[in-house]
Structure 1
């Protein structure tokens, strides 16, 4: 993890602003989905990218309920 030296205050609604420069560097635009994780005393934000729930392949072609599957895993489910 790399320190940025940036400190932001939470507003009354619990929001923080991600600095424009960081949004530019990481390709985060208005409407970009962000995942929220916790790790002990840390809150971790990451750009959301859907992966296959079975094998973690980055290209999801079919959603069953809220579960995304890649082409290979869809084929295995059909068998």
Structure 2
């Protein structure tokens, strides 16, 4: 993992500010969702990308009855009849 040399304090509500340079570099816009992971003693933030509930694909995702499904799996489902 690469150190950026940037240090931020957690405020009284538990928030931190991600510097604009990092947000630009990682293409994180206002209101984008981030996933939070714990890896041992580390907290990892990752830009959220919805994936298919069947195959895990993150490309060509559509919502069907509140679930994320890729078009390929959706076609397979409809061909089951």
Give TM class, smaller chain: 0.7 to 0.9
The alignment's C-alpha RMSD in Å is 1.4
Provide the TM-score with structure 2 as the length reference.
0.83
Aligned residues, how many? Answer: 78
Question: Which blocks of at least 5 consecutive residues in structure 1 are unaligned?
Answer: none
Provide the TM-score with structure 1 as the length reference.
0.84
Question: Which blocks of at least 5 consecutive residues in structure 2 are unaligned?
Answer: none
3-state secondary structure, aligned to 1:61: strand
Give the alignment of 1:35-50 within 5 angstroms: 35-50=35-50
Which of structure 1's runs of 4+ aligned residues deviate more than 6 A? none
